[in-house]
Amino acid sequence: MLTRADLVDIIVDAVARRGAAPVSRASAKPVRAGRFLSDWELRRMRVPGAGVIRVPRGALISPLSRDWLDYEGVRIIYE
């Protein structure tokens, strides 16, 4: 079973290979590229009934979040 630290390492390695901004492993937050948005965070950001969610430019969105957004018909606007 993967621990939270294992998942953080996997995500950090994937972002680093992709050529994104440097990431601090201690905090698991990108230094300049924005932040990682999970399914739970996007659900909290969505206004009930809204078809759009505004996220910071450079934010990374999890694959599960993208599936949920497609299912709900919600568009993402990067600001």
For the stretch 19-76, pLDDT in tens is: 655 544 444 443 344 688 888 888 888 888 889 998 888 888 988 889 989 999 999 9
Rounded CA separation 35/1 (Å) = 25
Domain coverage including residue 43 = 34-79
User: Which tokens sit at 26?
Assistant: 């201690």
Rounded CA separation 42/22 (Å) = 23
User: Quick one: pLDDT at residue 32?
Assistant: 42
Same domain, 45 and 78: yes
Note the pTM of the prediction, 2 decimals. 0.51
Please state the domain count of the chain. Answer: 2
DSSP code of residue 62: -
Same domain, 67 and 49: yes
Rounded CA separation 69/19 (Å) = 25
User: Quick one: pLDDT at residue 15?
Assistant: 75
17 pLDDT above the threshold of 80: no
User: Quick one: pLDDT at residue 20?
Assistant: 52
User: Quick one: pLDDT at residue 2?
Assistant: 78
